[in-house]
Amino acid sequence: MKIVPEVNMAPLFNRRRVTRRSRLTGPRAGGSVVEVALLFSFVLMPIFFGMIDLGRWVFLDLEVTGAAHAGAQYGSQSLTNAGNTAAIQTAAQNDAPDFGSSLTVTSSTTKCWCPSAPGTEVTCLAYPANACASGNQIVLLKVNTSATYTPWIPYPPFTSAITIKGYAEMPTGQY
């Protein structure tokens, strides 16, 4: 029979080690907390607010583009609506509530093409006149929107106001 020697566990839990660890609760114990606080305030906070500002800019850009589509969608319902610039502007401004009346909306129906040759522009003639040999001309309504975005925190390269632009083009209904 083999005899296994007994292991003394006392040195593993040496009192000196515990005493040395307990000394770190003194004046040096908060040093790492101060370092993390400084790192967070000088490095991470600008990154955090920059990400929030960038997200806000992207959201407002989508809103301006959506407003252009809303105005073009309203105007494309008929030739009468396509000529009603005040109603197109109202439809676009209603779709961009964060900008309201500061949203600039312009619309025009300067492009026309024939169904027999899509994409080939012809001179737009007043309805019911027609520039196409076969079929009615298709009138394209173009709506441009723009608004000004000012960052909350000016940081390079966005130190001043930025103009956000939206664009939509749709064929009008021939009713």
Total domain count, the chain:
1
Average confidence score pLDDT of the chain:
81
Q: Is the pTM of this model over 0.85?
A: no
Adjacent-strand bridge partners of 163: 148
Q: Would 131 be classed as within a structural domain?
A: yes
- Is the residue at 23 inside a domain? no
Domain containing 51 equals 33-171
Q: Please choose, from the candidates 170, 158, 169, the residue with its C-alpha nearest in 3D space to the C-alpha of residue 50.
A: 158
**Token pair for residue 169?**
């083009």
175 falls in which pLDDT band (50, 70, 90)? Answer: very low
> Does residue 171 contact residue 137 with C-beta atoms inside 8 Å?
no
Separation between Cα atoms, residue 108 and residue 164, nearest integer Å:
20
What is the rounded average pLDDT of the residues 1-16? 61
Q: Tell me, yes or no, whether 146 lies in a domain.
A: yes
pLDDT value at 18 more than 80:
no
Nearest residue to 107 (alpha-carbon basis) of 89, 94, 90, 123 = 89
15 inside domain: no
The whole-number average pLDDT for the span 121-141 is 77
Does residue 22 fall inside a structural domain? Answer: no
Looking at the domain assignment, is residue 137 inside a domain? yes
In a domain, 9, yes or no: no
In a domain, 92, yes or no: yes
pLDDT at residue 7 in the model: 61
pLDDT at 138 over 60: yes
